[in-house]
Structure 1
């Protein structure tokens, strides 16, 4: 489902998948989702790499590097329980911002700031798309998808290296991420026809609702497990 959404609009894989994966296997997150985040953008770039906004990408990556360091500190020093709540809260904030489609001017400052926030949330939770997507929301579809794809590819590679350096990338996370590539490919293949025939507004609202419900379920699960371990 996450690959279908991201294949259509340029982001959304983590928004849909991260809450569910964190609920099912918190010890494997965010490493497992970062493996998929690294792979999916290659399909978009194979077709639309010429539409990448290289200038904006540079500013975004400039901001993401220090943000990733903060995200790594969160992973090392924050408990799995607190991380689960953090993932859920980040999803709800991302859903709210995405649903409102706030108008954000695109310039060096806003793109760098978006990259910084994306570095924190992307490294700590696997959800780094919404800040960059908000800045690029008024660009043309191919440019949005291509620029976000290149940003996600480089960001996921950076996050995987950081997770390995801080000892938070178990082999099982890599294996799980590798297994998830299969449904990811299927989702991306389905996204093409659906992008042409479905009403994007209705699909978008449904996806945001599913993501929000997943986040609420994740909070409930963490609270219940805390009260009744």
Structure 2
């Protein structure tokens, strides 16, 4: 099994990325992929995108269960439908870029798109059409990189904080499950992704438990600049290193 895992020097930064991403996801309803994906791409690109998606499924499910009473059920069907469509489209793209030098550039580029979307200040109404459209874009971004939150975050930018975080977390968890299924069917997720994700997974419930006391006191706006700054820095380093 040792040939399925990276060295300890590689695994530890990946563990830190999962802990940071999980804490941000729980508190803000988004951020796991934006933090974890570029950091893993820097030190363990061979395990992307499968391992990030597998751990992300646990992150999204755990975060959703913590605030499930705040989820608005009527928002889910059109968003789910769009996410599924986006995952299928992205799985086709993934068969052509995963395992090639293009993948780090794709991840870095999508992280920057996610950062810019988060900063754009767009205001869109929450309707079936916008939920489906945002879900489709999120499905494409999320399947390729584990970063599917920003399109949905735009829709929920002006909603009550607990509803926003809880509903985005359920979209995130569903999206991870659909993306994993699509990539598995496409043959892009293998044993090494599952084994590596399993070694990182215990950090998720521990982090969710550790940040629970802060969930009601820490505002999303106070976390957002730090999360975006960390994501943008990691993405920039990833792009520059890939081009050199």
TM-score (norm 1): 0.90
| Residue 124 of structure 2: aligned partner | 104
1:185 deviates by: 2.7
Q: Distance in 2 between matches of 1:171 and 1:158?
A: 18
| Residue 140 of structure 2: aligned partner | 120
| Residue 5 of structure 1: aligned partner | 24
Gaps of 5+ in 1: 225-229
| Residue 51 of structure 2: aligned partner | 32
Residue 53 of structure 2 is aligned to residue 50 of structure 1: no
| Residue 160 of structure 1: aligned partner | 180
Q: How many residues align?
A: 224
TM-score (norm 2): 0.85
1:124 deviates by: 1.1
Give SS of 2:30's match. coil
- Residues 175-228 of structure 1 deviation map (CA, whole Å, 9 limit, x = unaligned): 11122222333332333334455565443212211110000011012112xxxx
| Residue 21 of structure 1: aligned partner | 40
Q: Distance in 2 between matches of 1:46 and 1:78?
A: 34
Give SS of 1:73's match. helix
Root-mean-square deviation (CA, aligned residues, Å) is: 1.7
- Residues 109-150 of structure 1 deviation map (CA, whole Å, 9 limit, x = unaligned): 111100000111111111111111111111212212221222
Q: 1:54 to 1:201 in 2, by over 3 A?
A: closer
From 173, 198, 202, give the equivalent of 1:178.
198
| Residue 74 of structure 1: aligned partner | 93
Which has the higher mean CA deviation after the structures are superposed, 116-125 or 41-50?
A: 41-50
Which has the higher mean CA deviation after the structures are superposed, 161-170 or 194-203?
A: 194-203
Which has the higher mean CA deviation after the structures are superposed, 25-34 or 191-200?
A: 191-200
Q: Distance in 2 between matches of 1:20 and 1:46?
A: 26
- Written as runs of structure 1 = structure 2, the 5 A alignment for 1:204-219 is 204-219=224-239
Q: Distance in 2 between matches of 1:223 and 1:194?
A: 40
